[in-house]
Chains A and B, each alone.
Chain A
Amino acid sequence: MSLTINERIAVIAVFGDKNAPLTPVQLRWNKKQYKLGKVDFYHTTRDGHHTVHHFSLTNDEQSMYMKLAFNSHSLVWTLEETEACE
């Protein structure tokens, strides 16, 4: 069962790739670093005029599922939910 987190996090991301304009590659949360694997699903939502980008993925060890959000107006990354992969 996924846990709702909704905490602001620090993320290293790649912008401008031809196939994926924005790809998160590493994040820090709860004083731990997580290298991230391939994005499994990407979608957007609207916050008024602003776009929020959502990324569903697992860490590169495939031990933890995470859903991240990037607000294109505030430039803030949020860890929305996590779940241990069993």
Chain B
Amino acid sequence: MKHSAGKIDLGINQSESKIMHIDLNSCFATIEQQARQHWRGQPVGVVAYDSPGGIILAASYEAKRLGISLGTRVWEAKKICPNIHITTVDPPKYRKAHQLFREVLEDYTSRVKAKSIDEFVLDLSDSRALKSGQTMQQIGYEIKQRVYQHVGEAVSCDVGIGPNRFLAKLASGLHKPNGLDIIDLNNMSEVYAKLELKDLPGINRRYDTRLRLGGIHTVSDFAAADSQQLRGIFGGIVGYYWWLRLRGWEIDDRDWKSGSQIGHQYALKEKLQPDQLDPIIFKLAQKIARRLSVKGLSATGIRVGLRYVRSPYWHKSRRIPQQLITTQDVFQAAHSLIDTEAPMGAGLVSLLSVTTYGFQPINPEQLALNLQGRPIANRGDIAKAMNQINERYGDFAVIPATMLGTDGIAGDSIAFGNLS
């Protein structure tokens, strides 16, 4: 055992691979193929808005083989493949598939963590199946079969097995679609030798450049580098984490962001000027306020982001002295931030996000002086009552006048990426 940069040099993790990473292949497109038999085996693109300029959010493997992928415009996709089936997103369908998928996985362990709508990580250390003598590969093949039976015959998944989450995820991407691979002490070097830096989950173009500037050009170089060198390249502890990851040690089993923020964002079908955003801000604020109310929390911070059609992305955070509890509170805080801080003359907005943070339990409030002789309810109670009405009669059954005319501007959507 050696010491490096004040940390104990652990070498390569030699323990058994008991982490499994599973993701559904081309999730949204595959679920649409499951729902429509006649689309199976054919190119399918799922879009937020079915217009020539709409962006493909998910492409079936048949479409991917033709070069159509995330980000391809509908007109481009139709130019490549005039017969491609285009459909708009149907989030309730994908949530159902996620639930069915989870039901299968929870039969194997309670330690199931959803990474996104179509990705799960299982820690099978305490799994009954493993203890009864099944190998990780056998469990992986069994899960594939059960996903086929339980979620649908058009649905397949990639399975990756490793001693940590990073290697399990890397393994799941080695043979897409419908692969099953294991990366461990025995084949780690061999796998690394076949990959490029950007093939590693978490290595983006910026990190790739940084590594190359630091003299690391291949994954094998990366794995052979010592922790001190990586600390230098990444500028601190992040380099040490990479050193551990590449050796199979667990560093990603943490909920960095769990419960730290509540927010929503919408891509706008019709681009709007910043001063036209109020109805959308209100809609987002109402969703956030409902989630705060369910959790019994108030927020003390707000962050707003605007993506412009022709200007750089803008975002700004602000601490708020009073508690944000109701829709009105969140709306006013977001509105004020845009009003006072957003760049002037930046043009049309294509995406708006509102996020709250700095949570506290809702404290008893000092009520306002009742000069009108009318009964006063506290803001938390008003928010709760509005939420109950909307729960019972459907989303936006009760809306403030500011939201009139917003139907169809901001629909249901599913977040990409981590669910934590």
Name A residues whose Cβ lies closer than 8 Å to a Cβ of B.
1-2, 40-49, 54, 56, 58, 62, 65, 67, 83, 85-86
Contact = CB atoms under 8 A, between A and B. Distances in A.
A45 B38 contact: no
B37 interface: yes
Interface of B: 31, 34-38, 85-87, 92-93, 95-96, 152, 391-394, 397
B191 to A, nearest CB: 36
Complex A-B, nearest 5 residue pairs according to Cβ-Cβ distance, in ascending order = A43-B96, A56-B35, A85-B38, A41-B35, A48-B394
Contacts of A62: 37-38
Contacts of B34: 40-41, 56
Nearest to A85: B38
B35 A40 contact: yes
Contacts of B392: 48-49
A42 to B, nearest CB: 8
Nearest to B155: A41
Contacts of B96: 41-44
B36 A40 contact: yes
A48 B397 contact: yes
Task: Choose among A40, A46, A54 the residue with the greatest number of B CB atoms under 10 Å from its CB.
Answer: A40
Task: Choose among A42, A43, A49 the residue with the greatest number of B CB atoms under 10 Å from its CB.
Answer: A43
B93 A43 contact: yes
A64 to B, nearest CB: 9
A45 to B, nearest CB: 5
A43 B92 contact: yes
B152 A40 contact: yes
Contacts of A56: 34-36
Contacts, number: 51
Task: Choose among B36, B95, B394, B397 the residue with the greatest number of A CB atoms under 10 Å from its CB.
Answer: B36
B85 A1 contact: yes
Contacts of A85: 37-38
Contact of B38 (A46, A49, A54, A86): A86
Contacts of A45: 92
Nearest to A47: B394
B93 A49 contact: no
A2 B394 CA distance: 26
A83 B87 CA distance: 12
A67 B31 CA distance: 14
27 contacts: A2-B36, A40-B37, A41-B31, A41-B35, A41-B152, A43-B92, A43-B93, A43-B95, A43-B96, A45-B92, A46-B394, A48-B391, A48-B392, A48-B393, A49-B391, A49-B392, A49-B393, A54-B92, A54-B93, A56-B34, A56-B35, A56-B36, A62-B37, A62-B38, A83-B36, A83-B38, A85-B38
A85 B31 CA distance: 17
Contacts of B38: 58, 62, 65, 83, 85-86
B408 to A, nearest CB: 14
Task: Choose among B34, B37, B92 the residue with the greatest number of A CB atoms under 10 Å from its CB.
Answer: B37
B309 to A, nearest CB: 28
Nearest to A50: B394
A41 B93 contact: yes
A41 B93 CA distance: 8
B87 A2 contact: yes
Contacts of B92: 43-45, 54
A82 B356 CA distance: 41
A47 B395 CA distance: 8
Contacts of B397: 48
A8 B374 CA distance: 47
Given A65-B37, A65-B38, 13 more contacts: A1-B85, A2-B36, A41-B35, A41-B96, A43-B92, A43-B93, A47-B394, A48-B391, A49-B393, A54-B92, A62-B37, A65-B36, A83-B36
Contacts of B35: 40-41, 56, 67
